[in-house]
Amino acid sequence: MLFHTWTFLFFFLIVFGGYLALRPTRLWTSWLLLASYVFYGWWNPFYLLLIVYSTVLDFGVVAMMDRQQPGSSNRRPWLIVSIVNNLTLLAFFKYADFLIENLNALGANFPEASRLMPFGLEYLLPVGISFYTFQSLSYTLDFYRGTIKRERSFVRFATFVTFFPQLVAGPIERSKNLLPQFRHAPRITTQHLTDGLSLFLVGLFKKLALANYLALYVDLVYSAPGDHNSIALLFATICFAWQIYFDFSGYTDMARGIARMMGFNLMLNFNHPYLATGLGDFWSRWHISLSTWFRDYLYLPLGGNRRGELITCRNLLIVFLASALWHGAAWHFIVWGALHAVGIILTRTLERSTWYREHLPDTIKRLWVFAFVCFAWIFFRAETVGEAWLIVTRICTLDGAHPTTWPLPLGWLVLAAFAYQLSSLTAPTRRFITSSPVRIATATCMLILLVFYSSSGGAFIYFQF
Amino acid sequence: MPASQLQDDFHYPPHALRLGARELLLTGGLFVLFGFLAPGLWTGRELFEPGADYRVPYELSNDYWLYERHLREASKDETAVLLIGDSVIWGEYVTREGTLSHFLNEEAAGNQHFVNAGLNGLFPLALEGLVEDFTHPVRRRKVILHANLLWMTSAESDLSSTKEQVFNHQPLIPQFSPPIPCYRAPFEKRISNLANRNVSLFAFSKHLQNAYFDQLSIPDWTMERAHAWQAPARHLLAGHLPEEPHEDPDRGETSSRHKSWSDGTRSPQSFPWVSPDESLQLAAFKRLTTLLLHRDNELLIIVGPLNEHMIAEGSLSAYRKLRSELVNWLQERGILHYLPRVLPSEHYGDASHPLTHGYRQLAHEIYPLPTFQKWLE
């Protein structure tokens, strides 16, 4: 069930109505849990088995840990059970195909070797598995560390794992933030409703009018990069940078808006990432919930930046490769992650220098960060590393052999996206943008454009992860 | 205090669009106002001059907003009589000067204006939806409704077979009730169809896509057409409502399609007619008739004439039984109806569509009828 569908509208109206009616009773969490299971089961009811398994396992693991003394080493095996189970689930559905494909490719060099799974292994990746697995895992990790108390209600915990607004594409919530919100029925004020509706409108607009439109051009060019010249490939790459931002942040906005209408606060997941003045800064603004997850549960436990420059570089490389693998089991994702890791390793000293921080104009910094991020997006978006390399070489060699076609409105759209982001930087433009008449006019135009200028489009990009 | 300055622990990116209650209400109000005004303002700007024989062009058969506009314009004429039906009324093989409404206009010699309110590709289940949602301008008007029993020749035509089928005008058929077994659209599509039918702004948006953007969404149009450099707004303002071509290679007496059904190798056929009790199309036609009566339309039903020359002997009795069932039903309710004589074989293009001479003959038969004249008064 996608947020931008009529089906979801009906679903939400029923859920919201029931939620309002049940808030004075103890049944409201059960109602939200039921709604979340219906929401998830709408894709494929069999997926529910997985999410229930993951939920029961982590709930049980923490209950077993709770039986041990705090700080006791007896807790560790239970933590390992949770980590292994969750990661195995993820690995089976996300990486088995990749592993077998690569082993088979390797085995092809040895004529006598038999092929692994010669019949092929086409798993149907359960939507959102990477998101809820990480969310559930954060609960066991936090409990192990002693930063949260054990949740004694299974219904509450299950609602935390499956909470439908953020179930399939985040934000990946921390138990510390979201779980306590299920302890008492949240207050719902007019501001919650208006904030929620505003966020939902913005998200809907980002998805239907912007991301889907950009996708038309990106898909056209990236489906046959060999047929397009350097300008088209460059423009398509810039379009993809905006497409993925609008698509993913649009989903997050809608998720936060829906939760907000019901009185819940979900974390901020995007904060104008293309205004970043450094690669580190970019990752503190892009997919914040995943970046902070890796920071807290992988980077810092590995030693963070406290154990010398070499270990820091190693940790950064591990984190970015893990992040790449989280996105998908394919070499082009790994190259994308490696590029960001190398980029950050190479620039972190520079970014801390006085010259960079105080003398280099922010515009130059933003331009270089955007250029680097776009360069890395080529590997993220292309189907294979080979295709990505073809695109890079075509762009770099200014290949003009093929005619360029790109629709003018798309060019304006990209310029408008830049202009809107930049408008937040100066006080007068910020004041203008946030003035009441401008906001009303903007929202009205968004609604009108949604009717006349939106393109039909399927799922969100991040559903595949 | 603006909403953006309210103290809250909820994190918003700087300068994000955050509306307060009053601002949201104002936004909603402005949008609704736009929804009411835009189609009207566009109507004033869009050049639409339907002549006496105007029919919605074939390419715009899915443009229900234009269809409604056509009826609204036509209903300004007090003498207007609407002919509602499928491609038999619209004129599958003929130009607009070869349709039944045209020849009735000729017979009337200006005393009445017979309006071609047919639409290509329709059938009773879709016609019901069309009348329900897009014929409001013609309440209390005289309506000639055509009953085409061709749609009951088989379970497939009747849409009562269980095998999934692709057919025209899916948005117009009942989306949920009564259930149509061969219609397997997902829930989302059905809801979307209902929204497009019931929210006039959506129908208007579809009209712009149909009429000016090659039936594509505007973003798709900017991608798929060679004139992608052109801004859609400029294209829209410079555009004209498509009209029927003067020389249509597919229609009219000079076209290769305009030939008698018996000119080829076709011979009479047996049809596995559906039973009147089980026919979805017949039930839809009855509901449609009731709806028009409830809207105080003065109704005349013309049943057929189907091309009986094309129906094999063994199949004729089933057809006549079906026709009698409909006629009895009309008689029981006192609904005025007429069964024209079967036209000569050479005047049919296929099982139900007359050719130009057929329409002329039909008009010549119907118009002078005393019952018809009395009804017109």
Q: At B142, which helix (H) or strand (E)?
A: strand B142-147
Helix (H, G, I), strand (E, B) or coil at B293: helix
Helix axes A362-381, A230-261, angle to 10 degrees: 90
Instruction: Give one DSSP letter per residue of A219-236, joined into a string.
Output: HHHHHSGGGS-HHHHHHH
Q: Above 50 in pLDDT, residue B1?
A: no
Question: Given pLDDT bands bounded at 50, 70 and 90, which one contains residue B227?
Answer: low
Taking the CA of residue B17 and the nearest CA in chain A, the distance in Å comes to 6
| Cα–Cα dist A120/B11, whole Å | 46
| Cα–Cα dist A404/A231, whole Å | 7
Q: What does the pLDDT look like over A417-448, one tens digit per residue?
A: 888 888 878 888 888 888 899 999 999 999 99
B31 with A456: Cβ contact below 8 A: no
Specify the pLDDT at position A119: 44
| Cα–Cα dist A287/A270, whole Å | 6
Taking the CA of residue B32 and the nearest CA in chain A, the distance in Å comes to 10
Instruction: Give one DSSP letter per residue of A407-445, joined into a string.
Output: -HHHHHHHHHHHHHHHTTSSHHHHHHHTSHHHHHHHHHH
Q: At B145, which helix (H) or strand (E)?
A: strand B142-147
Helix axes B124-134, B280-294, angle to 10 degrees: 20
Specify the pLDDT at position A386: 92
The number of C-beta contacts closer than 8 angstroms across A and B is 122
Q: What does the pLDDT look like over B170-214, one tens digit per residue?
A: 999 999 989 999 999 999 899 989 998 998 899 999 999 999 988
> Closest by alpha carbon to B184, among B169, B155, B163, B168?
B163
The residue-averaged pLDDT of A265-293 equals: 92
The residue-averaged pLDDT of B49-78 equals: 91
Amino acid code (one letter) for A291 = S
Q: Helix, strand, coil proportions of chain B in percent (round to 5)?
A: 50, 10, 45
A216 with B220: Cβ contact below 8 A: yes
Given A4, A228, A287, A327, the catalytic residue: A327
Q: What does the pLDDT look like over B346-356, one tens digit per residue?
A: 899 988 999 99
Q: What does the pLDDT look like over B132-141, one tens digit per residue?
A: 999 888 888 8
Inform me whether the C-beta atom of residue B201 falls under 8 Å from chain A C-beta atoms.
yes
| Cα–Cα dist A11/B239, whole Å | 41
If one counts every other C-beta atom within 10 angstroms of the C-beta of residue A12, the result is 21
CA torsion sign, B340 to B346 to B347 to B351? positive
Q: What does the pLDDT look like over B123-168, one tens digit per residue?
A: 999 999 999 999 888 888 899 999 999 999 999 999 999 999 999 9
Q: Above 60 in pLDDT, residue A118?
A: no
Inform me whether the C-beta atom of residue B312 falls under 8 Å from chain A C-beta atoms.
no
Residue that has been written with the tokens 């219904």 in this structure = A155
Q: Above 90 in pLDDT, residue B287?
A: yes
Q: Exposed, middle or buried, A125 (CB in 10 Å: 0-12/13-18/19+)? A: middle
Q: What percent of chain B has pLDDT over 90?
A: 56
Q: Above 90 in pLDDT, residue B304?
A: no
> Closest by alpha carbon to A138, among A169, A161, A167, A168?
A161
Inform me whether the C-beta atom of residue B1 falls under 8 Å from chain A C-beta atoms.
no
Quick check: ipTM above 0.90? no
Annotation marks residue A184 as catalytic: no
Q: Tell me which of A96-105, A160-169, B264-273 is least confident.
A: A96-105
In sequence order, what are the beta bridge partners of B145?
A: B84, B301
If one counts every other C-beta atom within 10 angstroms of the C-beta of residue B235, the result is 16
Q: Above 90 in pLDDT, residue A409?
A: no
Inform me whether the C-beta atom of residue B21 falls under 8 Å from chain A C-beta atoms.
yes
A407 with B6: Cβ contact below 8 A: no
Q: Helix, strand, coil proportions of chain A in percent (round to 5)?
A: 70, 0, 30
Taking the CA of residue A443 and the nearest CA in chain B, the distance in Å comes to 6
At residue B167, what are phi and psi to the nearest 5 degrees?
Answer: -145, 170
Q: Above 80 in pLDDT, residue B2?
A: no
Specify the pLDDT at position A53: 92
Q: Where are the alpha helices (DSSP H) in chain B?
A: 21-45, 64-74, 87-90, 100-108, 124-134, 155-158, 187-198, 200-212, 218-224, 232-238, 280-294, 313-332, 356-366, 370-376
